[in-house]
Amino acid sequence: MSLSVLDLFSVGIGPSSSHTVGPMRAALRFATELRRDGLLESVARVETGLYGSLGATGRGHGSDRAVLLGLEGAEPETVDIEHAYGRVDAIREQGTLLLAGDHAIDFNVDTDLILYRRESLPGHPNGMRFSAYASDGTVLRMREYYSVGGGFVVDADAVKADALVVEESPLPAPFTTSDELMEACRISGRSIAELMMANEDVVRPREETRAALLHIWDVMQECVDNGCNRTEELLPGGLQVRRRAPALRRSLREHEEAMERLSTNVRDPLWAMEWVNLYALAVNEENASGGRVVTAPTNGAAGIVPAVLHFYTRFVDGADDDGVIDFMLTAAAVGILFKLGASISGAEVGCQGEVGSACSMAAAGLCAVLGGTPQQIENAAEIGIEHNLGLTCDPVGGLVQVPCIERNAIASMKAINAARLAMQGDGNHRVTLDQAIRTMRQTGADMKSKYKETSRGGLAVNVIECCWLTS
């Protein structure tokens, strides 16, 4: 199996890669296959079932809306966000769905889109079943799909998530473990970013890879800008969570302008931290409101890599586009290790698989552009995940808001600290990245399901209970 940097970083919509992007892609695949196989015109009704974590928190994560849009032919990368939810409302009100974009069928959202809160499909906690029926009730097609994290979708025939990407050509620098990656760097004398780019060259011309990565960086910057300029005071969903990014940016800019007027060089020694917090909050508030974000490697952790990349471009001397690309290639190499060696799905291993993986990726990317050796980069990545091990996924109200938004800001600073700490060493350290990833997988397997994106434990229970008791 091979994974690309563009598999780890992809443009999508909020609030969740596994619960929004994945279901939209699965629904789109189902509708597309109906057309491809000549069945579309015979379809009179479609029924969708969401199971496991999708069933438990699908409403708060927008899984139901994503399925409707996907059945109508929408793609996460290009869906018109400004009009998408109006289209969902129209389906609900009119009782008609345009399957694959143009085949009208009756659709009752209450009976044809069912969330099974206490049932699961056998392959993964995020399971979906799509069934298409003829007018006489005959089943024309039934498919099961699994959203396995980061927007990746596999069908029931896939034995495991590794079947998602088929390696068509041998790679010049294949790796599935950190040890293999370090050995490839040692033998070739190349950096992690150089090895990753060599692998990408097998998939597409280098110019296309560079253009795609710089486009992803543009989307990250646009996402921060959008998050800082929203005028709505509250995030959607009913938790009454206030947006903080717009006011925080105003405050930071006013402070900087005041310092300039006073012509003083006296600065808060942790001033950069304020901006990193802003970048992460802006992205994740945008994600929470269903905006366009970059899955990095998931939506729940989408603010960490952009926040640390913004730190690099704003506060590190000599930052340029080549550095941005090296950062992203290095981060993606680490993300691939997590995808292959454990999981990036909160429903499978808890938030350690999302925020933990993203923290590790960002730490590696930053260490690389600070001039770190492959061994120092591996150390930074290990520090990033080691201190997120056991992190639960307990979204309050099933929404990607509390504790998710703040958690991205905290993890962004962890990533920066991990990179700087690793740069102070020579790359030798006691715990390896492979050992930490293995531990994450084992910890996730031991973790109770109520702490894995079901909103049945942790803060999801205590915050709601507290609010109820005091209301």
Identify how many contiguous H helices and E strands the chain contains and give both numbers: 19, 9
- Return mean pLDDT, the chain: 94
The answer to whether the Cα torsion of 387, 14, 20, 404 is positive or negative is: positive
Residue 465: predicted pLDDT: 59
Residue 468: predicted pLDDT: 42
* DSSP state letter for 234: B
* pLDDT tens per residue across span 458-469: 999 999 756 544
* DSSP state letter for 21: I
Q: How far apart are CA 372 and CA 389, in angstroms?
A: 24
Q: 């099974």: which residue's tokens?
A: 116
Specify whether the backbone of 193 is left (phi greater than 0), alpha (psi in -120 to 50) or beta: alpha
* pLDDT tens per residue across span 229-281: 999 999 999 999 999 999 999 999 999 898 888 876 667 889 999 999 999 99
Q: How far apart are CA 436 and CA 384, in angstroms?
A: 10
What is residue 99's three-state secondary structure? Answer: strand
Q: Which two tokens stand for residue 36?
A: 């491809």
How large is the average pLDDT for residues 449-456? 94
Q: Which of 192, 252, 196, 194 is nearest to 378 (CA)?
A: 192
* pLDDT tens per residue across span 174-197: 999 999 999 999 999 999 999 999
* pLDDT tens per residue across span 63-111: 999 999 999 999 999 999 888 889 999 999 999 999 999 999 999 999 9
pLDDT band at 159 (very low <50, low <70, confident <90, very high): very low
Residue 262: predicted pLDDT: 82
Give percent above pLDDT 70 in the chain: 95
* pLDDT surpasses 80 at 401: yes
Q: What is the largest CA-CA distance in the chain?
A: 79
Residue 467: predicted pLDDT: 57
**154: burial class by Cβ within 10 Å (0-12, 13-18, 19+)?**
buried
How large is the average pLDDT for residues 347-361? 97
pLDDT band at 471 (very low <50, low <70, confident <90, very high): very low
* pLDDT surpasses 60 at 162: no
How large is the average pLDDT for residues 397-409? 96
Q: How far apart are CA 62 and CA 67, in angstroms?
A: 9
**333: burial class by Cβ within 10 Å (0-12, 13-18, 19+)?**
buried
Of 262-276, 308-322, 398-412, which gets the smallest average pLDDT? 262-276
Residue 167: predicted pLDDT: 47
Q: How far apart are CA 471 and CA 468, in angstroms?
A: 5
How large is the average pLDDT for residues 24-53? 97
Q: How far apart are CA 319 and CA 314, in angstroms?
A: 8
Residue 161: predicted pLDDT: 42
Sequence-distant (6+) residues with CB within 8 A of 115 are: 49, 50, 54, 55, 56, 58, 59, 63, 64
CA dihedral of 250, 256, 258, 262, whole degrees rounded to 10:
180
